[in-house]
Amino acid sequence: MGNVSDFRSDTVTRPTEAMRKAMAEGAVGDDVLGDDPTVQKLESMAAQIMDKEGALFVPSGTMGNSIATKVWTSELEEVILEERSHIFNMESTHMTFISRVTPRPLPSNRGAMEPQLIQKHIRQPSDHIPKTSLICIENTHNNWSGAVVPLDNIQSLRKIADEHNLKLHFDGARVFNASQASGVPVKEYARLADSLMFCLSKGLSAPVGSLLTGPRSFIQMARRVRKALGGGMRQVGVLAASGIVALQEMVERLEEDHARAQRLAQAIADLPGIILAPQNIQTNIIIFGFDHPQLNIPQFLEQLKNRGILALPTTGGIRFVLHKDIDDQDVNRTISAFKEILSG
Ligand SMILES: *Cc1c(COP(=O)(O)O)cnc(C)c1O
C-alpha cells in the first residue's frame, strides 16, 4: 500500500471500490422512521448469518456492547468479564456510566475464563451485595493477541449461565476471524450466546458500523436504548451498503491476514529483543514483548516509522495487526526492517 505499511489496527482499512460503488448507488430512507431498505437488508442478513431473530445496526462496537449491557442488566447488578477484555479496558467505563452496574473482571487462560472460577464468583442472593446477571466473553480476544477462545470453554460458560439464570453476551468484534481460524461456524458461536455483537469496520474493512444480534424482544429494547444514546441515524443505508459488501466479499479473505501474521511472527520471533511465541498467533493480531540492549519501545517504533512502518505500543509490548491493506510486500519490507534495526 504505497509508502506506508500501517499495522496500527485492522480499523485503518479504506473501503473497497465495491463498497464505494454500493454506497453511491444504495437505496436509502429515514432509518429512525424505520424505512431505510438498505439498513433493513443488512440487519436481516446479519440476523440470518448469526441465526438470531433480529439485528440492529449501530455506529460502533462500543455502542453495541453498551446497549447489550444496558438491556441485559439493571442497577444493583454485576457483570463477570475477562480482565483484559475490550469492554473492561477500552470502552470508557460504559458499564458504570450508562448501565450503572459493577464489572467483576476475572483472569483467564488467553481469554478463556475457567468455568470453576466463574462459578466461584457468581454472587449468592443477598440484600448486601450486587446480583450477578451477565457474563461477557470476547472472541477473538484482542489483548490476548487475537487468541481464539476454545468452543468447549464457551459451551461450559453457557451451561453455567443457564444454571444460574444469567445472560451471556458475546463481544464478537472479530468473530469472523475466530471462525476462520477455528473452523467453528459463526452460527455455532452465536447459538451459545444470548446476544452477539460483531464489527464491520475491523478486518471486514467497512468504514463504519457494527451489528448487535439477539432475540426479537432484546432487539426491540436495544433499538430504544440506541435512540436514547443518540445512535439513531437517518439515511444510514449509505453506510449499511458498505456493510453488505463487507459480509458478502470480505469474510473469506480473512485467512490471508492470518497467514501473513503467522509468517511475520515466525520471521521476527528469534530476532534480538523480540519476545514472541509464534504458535500463540492464531489470527491477525501479533502482540510481542520487547527487551533490547540498545533500544526501548518508543525508539524502536520511531525507527520503524522512519522506514514507513507504523505500529502501536501496548501494555509491555508492541502490537502489529494485519488487514486487507497489508500485502506480502508490506510484510517482506517489515521483516527486512526488523532485521536491519534489531541486529544491526
Ligand atoms: C474494536 C473492538 C470493539 C469496539 O469497536 P469500536 O467500533 O471501536 O467501538 C469491541 N470489542 C473488541 C474486542 C474490539 O476489538
Residues 157, 181 within the same domain: yes
- Write the CA distances from 286 to 162, 171, 211, 223, 268, integer angstroms: 35, 19, 25, 36, 11
**List of residues 6+ apart from 276 with CB closer than 8 A:** 265, 268, 269, 286, 288, 289
Same domain, 218 and 306: no
CA of 143 to the centre of ligand 1 (A): 11
Contacts for 296-303 with beta carbons within 8 Å, 24 or more apart?
A: 300/273, 300/341, 300/342, 303/337, 303/341
Distance, CA of 181 to CA of 179 (rounded, Å): 5
Same domain, 202 and 286: no
212-231 pLDDT, tens digit per residue, is: 999 999 999 999 999 999 99
Q: Do residue 91 and residue 135 come from a single domain?
A: yes
Q: Does residue 273 share a domain with residue 205?
A: no
Kindly state the cell numbers that stand for 148.
481464539
Per-residue model confidence (pLDDT) at position 250: 98
The protein residue whose alpha carbon is closest to atom 5 in ligand 1 is 61
Instruction: Please write the tens of the pLDDT for every residue from 119-154.
Output: 999 998 899 999 999 999 999 999 999 999 999 999
Mean per-residue pLDDT for 323-341? Answer: 98
| Cell 431505510, residue located | 36
H helix runs in the chain, sequence order: 17-25, 37-50, 61-72, 86-90, 94, 115-121, 151-164, 175-182, 186-191, 216-228, 237-249, 254-268, 297-306, 328-343
Task: Give, using CA atoms, the residue closest to atom 14 of ligand 1.
Answer: 173
Average pLDDT, the chain: 97
Residue 215 — φ and ψ, nearest 5°? -65, 160
Domain around 272: 5-12+253-343
Q: CB within 6 Å of ligand 1 — which residues?
A: 60-62, 65, 86, 138, 142, 171, 173, 199, 201, 210
Please state the rounded mean pLDDT for residues 317-324.
98
CA 241, 86, 161 angle in degrees (round to 5)? 95
Domain end, chosen from 249, 277, 300, is at 249
CA-nearest residue for atom 8, ligand 1, is: 61
The whole-number average pLDDT for the span 145-165 is: 98
Q: State if pTM tops 0.85.
A: yes
Can you tell me the distance from the alpha carbon of 232 to that of 157, in angstroms, rounded to the nearest whole number?
33
pLDDT-based confidence at residue 190 (cuts at 50, 70, 90): very high
Q: Do 174 and 269 have their domain in common?
A: no
Do both 98 and 41 map to the same domain?
Answer: yes
Flag whether pLDDT at 37 surpasses 50: yes
- The atom number, within ligand 1, closest to the CA of 65 reads 10
The best mutation among 110, 142, 229 to test binding of ligand 1, ranked by most ligand atoms within 8 Å of the C-beta, falls on 142
In this structure, are residues 202 and 11 in contact, taking their beta carbons and an 8 Å threshold? yes
Q: How far apart are CA 169 and CA 171, in angstroms?
A: 6
pLDDT value at 283 more than 50:
yes
Q: Quick one: 93 and 211 in the same domain?
A: yes
CATH assignment at residue 302: 3.90.1150.10
Pocket test for ligand 1, best of 66, 93, 171, 176 (most atoms within 8 A of CB): 171
The CA 150 to ligand 1 mean position distance, Å, reads 20
Average pLDDT over residues 84-100: 95
Q: Would you state the torsion angle of the CA atoms of residues 178, 181, 185, 187, taken in this order, to the nearest 10 degrees?
A: 0
Q: 238 and 290: one domain? A: no
Alpha carbon of 91 to ligand 1 centroid (Å): 8
Q: Whose CA is nearest to atom 3 of ligand 1?
A: 61
Atom of ligand 1 nearest to the CA of 171: 11
User: Quick one: pLDDT band at residue 315, thresholds 50, 70, 90?
Assistant: confident
**Among 176-180, 222-226, 313-317, the least confident range:** 313-317
Residue 257 amino acid letter? D
Pocket test for ligand 1, best of 12, 62, 66 (most atoms within 8 A of CB): 62
Ligand 1 centroid vs 86 CA: distance in angstroms?
7
Is pLDDT at 299 greater than 60 in this prediction?
yes
Is residue 241 domain-shared with residue 133, that is, in the same domain? yes
Q: Residue 2 has what pLDDT?
A: 55
Q: Looking at the 3D structure of the chain, how many domains does it have?
A: 2
Same domain flag for 243 and 268? no
pLDDT (average), residues 264-283: 98
Q: Is the pLDDT of residue 175 over 70?
A: yes
What CATH number did the domain enclosing 21 receive? Answer: 3.40.640.10
Q: What is the rounded average pLDDT of the residues 22-31? A: 97
Is there a single domain that holds both residue 121 and residue 142?
yes
Q: How confident is the model at residue 1 (pLDDT cuts 50, 70, 90)?
A: very low
Last residue within a domain, chosen from 249, 279, 311: 249
pLDDT of residue 113: 98
pLDDT band at residue 316 using 50, 70 and 90 as cut-offs: confident
Last residue of a domain, one of 187, 216, 249: 249
Q: Respond yes or no on whether the N-terminal peptide bond of residue 93 is cis (omega within 30° of 0).
A: no
